[in-house]
C-alpha cells in the first residue's frame, strides 16, 4: 500500500507478516526499512501519523488494536477484543472510525424428533 503522502510503499513479507517500507522510487532489498516486527495476518493500515495494526495474539491475552506513532516510535493500545479478527483494517478518511472483521463463534442446535414416521 502507498503512504498517504505518496513517498513510501508499504508491504508485508515473511511468515510473521512483518511490515516493511521502501521509497516509491524503488530500490533493492537494502532500501527496505522494517516498520513492524509482525502483524496478525497482515492486519494493518497506514495513515499520515502512523500505522494501525493488530499484533499476533499472546496466549490467553486475546487480540488488540494498536497504533504505531511515526513521530515517537511509541506503540499505543487502542482497543482489546476477545474474538479473533479476520481480514484487513480500514481507517475512515477522517480518522474517526476503523473497520475490521471478527469471527463469531459457530453454534448449532441439536434437535431430537420423537415418533418420526
Confidence (pTM): 0.81
Q: What is the pLDDT along the chain (117 residues), one digit of tens a residue?
A: 899 999 999 999 999 899 999 999 988 888 899 999 999 888 999 999 999 999 987 767 788 999 999 999 999 999 888 778 887 888 888 888 888 887 777 776 776 677 666
pLDDT on residue 108:
67
d(CA 102, CA 82): 9
CB–CB of 55/39 below 8 Å?
Answer: yes
pLDDT on residue 100:
83
CB–CB of 27/48 below 8 Å?
Answer: no
d(CA 64, CA 40): 10
pLDDT on residue 34:
95
Amino acid at each position: 500500500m502507498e503512504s498517504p503522502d505518496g513517498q513510501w510503499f508499504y508491504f508485508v513479507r515473511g511468515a510473521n507478516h512483518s511490515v516493511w517500507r521502501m521509497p516509491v522510487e524503488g530500490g533493492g532489498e537494502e532500501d527496505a526499512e522494517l516498520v513492524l516486527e509482525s502483524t496478525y495476518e497482515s492486519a494493518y493500515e497506514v495513515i499520515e501519523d502512523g500505522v494501525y495494526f493488530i499484533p499476533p495474539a499472546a496466549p490467553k491475552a486475546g487480540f488488540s488494536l494498536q497504533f504505531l506513532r511515526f513521530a515517537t516510535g511509541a506503540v499505543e493500545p487502542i482497543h482489546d477484543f476477545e474474538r479473533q479478527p479476520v481480514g484487513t483494517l480500514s481507517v475512515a478518511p477522517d480518522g474517526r472510525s476503523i473497520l475490521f472483521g471478527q469471527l463469531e463463534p459457530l453454534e448449532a442446535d441439536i434437535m431430537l424428533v420423537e415418533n418420526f414416521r
